[in-house]
Amino acid sequence: MTIQMSSLTIRDRHHFLIGVIRLCVITILTVNALWTMDHLFMSSNTVALAADEEEAPAEGEGGEAAPEQPEVLDVFLKLDPFIVNLKGNGMKRYLKTTIAIEVEVKEVKQELEMLTPKLRDTILFVLTSKSYNDLFSNEGKIALKHELIAHINRILKSGTIKAIYITDFIIQ
């Protein structure tokens, strides 16, 4: 519905403009309040992070510095998609999937990145050994995750992976 300004009285125009101005002011105040809260929240997190980083390392017995522990955090390594033929009995099927690997320590992610060809080879070996019936159900996908974790952990030297996430999964 459009309002034609020429058919409105001066009083109606005045009320209309007041309403528009109120709406603009409310919108500006809301955006300003949200922006302020966001920056206050983000700056308080930054201050807390900076304070954590400035803490001195813990000292062990005898006044010696404690051995440095690896930094523990959730780190993801997303792999390029895999497209493989599935094992089958006469019917040709293929699987397209994308996998992300979660590790707790940066060093493990770095090792995985250095071992990418070996990692992809291991995953391809496992995927091509599966049939449609092996992967169709949720239980099959869970079993696949466990099998991939076991195979990948065998090639790692600096730690283990925490979890595997299947971010795309198409069987045709």
End-to-end CA distance of the chain: 50
C-beta neighbour count of 127 within 10 angstroms? 21
160 and 104 in a common domain: yes
Is the predicted pLDDT of residue 25 greater than 60, yes or no? yes
Q: What is the pTM of this model?
A: 0.57
pLDDT greater at residue 17 or residue 64: 17
pLDDT score of 50: 45
> Distance between CA atoms of 146 and 150, rounded to whole angstroms?
6
138 and 108 in a common domain: yes
What are the CB-based long-range contacts (under 8 Å, 24+) for 81-85? 81/168, 82/120, 82/123, 82/124, 82/127, 84/124, 84/127, 84/128, 85/128
82 and 29 in a common domain: no
> Distance between CA atoms of 107 and 128, rounded to whole angstroms?
29
80 and 48 in a common domain: no
80 and 164 in a common domain: yes
143 and 102 in a common domain: yes
pLDDT score of 46: 44
pLDDT score of 94: 92
155 and 98 in a common domain: yes
The torsion of the CA quartet 38, 43, 48, 52, rounded to 10 degrees, works out to 130
125 and 40 in a common domain: no
Using only the alpha carbons of the chain, give its radius of gyration. 29
Least confident span in 39-43, 143-147, 158-162: 39-43
Question: In which domain, by residue range, is 22 found?
Answer: 8-54
82 and 35 in a common domain: no
Query: In sequence order, what E strands does the chain have?
Result: 72-78, 82-85, 94-105, 163-171
Q: pLDDT tens, 44-83?
A: 444 444 445 455 455 455 555 555 655 556 789 999 999 9
Q: Would you say residue 108 lies in a domain?
A: yes
pLDDT band at 89 (very low <50, low <70, confident <90, very high): confident
139 and 85 in a common domain: yes
78 and 46 in a common domain: no
Q: Would you say residue 150 lies in a domain?
A: yes
Averaged confidence pLDDT in the chain? 80
pLDDT greater at residue 165 or residue 70: 165
